[in-house]
Amino acid sequence: MAKEGLINKVMIANRGEIAIRIMRACKELNIDTVAVYSDADKNALFVKYADEAYNIGKGPARMSYLVQEKLIDVALKADVEGIHPGYGFLAENSDFCKLCHTNGIEFIGPPESAMRLMGSKIAAKTSMIEAGVAVVPGVVKAIADHEKAKDIANEVGYPVMLKASAGGGGIGIKMVSNDQEMEETLESIRVLAKNSFGDDAVFIEKYIDDPRHIEFQVIGDKKGNVIHLYERECSVQRRNQKLIEETPSTALDQDLREEMGRQAVTAAKTAGYWNAGTCEFMFKDGKYYFLEMNTRLQVEHPITEEVTRTDIGREMLYVASGLDLSYAQEDITQTGHAMEFRLNAEDPLNDFAPAPGKIVRYAEASGPGIRIDSGVYPGYTIPPYYDSMIAKLIVWGENRDYCIQRSKRALWEMQIGGVKTNIPFHEVVLEHPNFLNGDYTTSFIPRYNIMDIVVEYYKTQKAQQGGAKKAAAMAAVEAFIAGVSQNQNKQ
């Protein structure tokens, strides 16, 4: 039975698997759901799943999912009480949050003030320093003058990072190694930041070479209660985009885990934060540094749900309704190990470029410890306008070794035909000794030539037939890994 006082109707201002995930949480609470969809998504699964659905325009997001006025018009027409933004699109847009509240609609996320604070990396870092949260060394102010930038960089010590204060998604970040590069790079990053985010503020911080990327899930209610749900390791990245996440992290012991969790809670409370969010840290040599806060639900939240046995989507609805959190900090424990694999439509032989198209065959993995969050079906055409994700494969096991073995089985069971996918990438990573040992950083992919290995694996798969296909392909992977290791040992 649903709790008394809940919002009774919610519009999901997003698409795909995240729209379905939120609708599932709503359905379990007897909350009516409203979908919005572009022309390109008229046959999408999330549209069929919703209680009501409204068309909001043409395929490109700028003509549909990003048009705030259209979304509000639908919300008012459908008489919804809340809007859940999912992730991406307008999820971290404080102006949209304000527009919702102006029209008497609850934004199912953090308050506008927290979004604005954490949306500016400069303001966020300044507030964290004042709260005693460890941050990356640097100068937390906007830099526009080349000579001042060079002076700061020499004081901090090259290499340094230039970062757009309003940046996100890996955009507006550039490492600079010397004065000449600073002269060449500063203005281009400012222009990129202005064009991408409407804010040309750029700051300088010390470049932390080869760190691990560890984030902590937090959630708070409107009464000031904030808890953390422990960490996720997100170091398997390509072009600053996460591809595999796991929890717990192999880098942390329990004392450090608890300490970082407390810092994440402090960060959230300092921002006056409620609802779900994530504190991002860089970690190296036993030290951690606050990086930024993502003021939204994360793509990888399911693995946290699996090991903590919580429902973050449900808690978001509780908080938005003004209810207390269901959990206190002492209720949260970690059980087992979980990993998430982002299954994307992309071409390994074309620099892993997005490869949208029609899915002619689709069969999901199943069995103990397997969860699939997806929004596709056989015959569905992946549009070219959005992220190329097909599904998220979430795997839980009693321990990390068993989770990896179960993940291999699940990847083998996933049958996706008609489009190229990055499943070979995940299979290669699960065979690599450094990943198996839990000894990897954000440079894992380039350092070990993982993409080259994937291409060799993919080519071998295509060349083999029948039962020999898998064995021959993995033999090629093992030989390639061995060759890379020998070359690195000689250097």
52 band by pLDDT with thresholds 50, 70 and 90: very high
pLDDT the model gives residue 166 = 87
Tell me the two tokens of residue 9: 């109707």
- Distance in angstroms (rounded) separating the CA atoms of residues 189 and 348: 29
pLDDT value, residue 456: 87
pLDDT confidence of residue 170: 73
Domains of the chain: 9-108 (3.40.50.20), 137-206 (3.30.1490.20), 212-418 (3.30.470.20)
Per-residue pLDDT, averaged over 393-407, amounts to 98
User: What is the average per-residue pLDDT within 91-110?
Assistant: 97
User: Are 216 and 231 spatial neighbours (Cβ–Cβ below 8 Å)?
Assistant: yes
Q: What is the mean pLDDT of residues 379-403?
A: 97
Where residue 456 falls (left for φ over 0; alpha for ψ -120 to 50; beta otherwise) is: alpha
Strand partners, 171: 168
Catalytic residues: 296
Q: What's residue 491's pLDDT?
A: 45
- For residue range 150-195, list pLDDT tens digits in order: 999 999 999 999 999 987 767 889 999 999 999 999 999 999 999 8
- Strand ranges for 209-309 from DSSP E: 212-220, 226-238, 241-247, 275-284, 287-294
Distance of alpha carbon 375 from alpha carbon 38, whole angstroms: 15
Closest listed residue to residue 98, CA positions, set 121, 74, 118, 115 = 115
pLDDT band at 475 (very low <50, low <70, confident <90, very high): low
Pairing mode, strands 160-168 and 202-206: antiparallel
Label residue 484 by pLDDT band (50, 70, 90): low
Q: What is the pLDDT of residues 225-241, one digit of tens each?
A: 999 999 999 999 998 88
Sign for the CA dihedral angle at 132, 134, 136, 137 comes to positive
Q: What is the pLDDT of residue 85?
A: 98
| Residues 63-73: tens digit of each pLDDT | 999 999 999 99
What's the one-letter identity of residue 380? Y
Is 0.85 surpassed by the pTM of this model? yes
Contact 171, 164 (CB under 8 A): yes
Cβ(221)–Cβ(238) below 8 Å: no
Contacts of 180 (CB under 8 A, 6+ apart): none
Confidence at residue 264, expressed as pLDDT on a 0 to 100 scale: 97
CB 143 within 8 A of CB 203: yes
DSSP SS3 for 148: helix
Is the confidence at residue 465, as pLDDT, over 90?
Answer: no
Q: Is the pLDDT of residue 468 over 80?
A: no
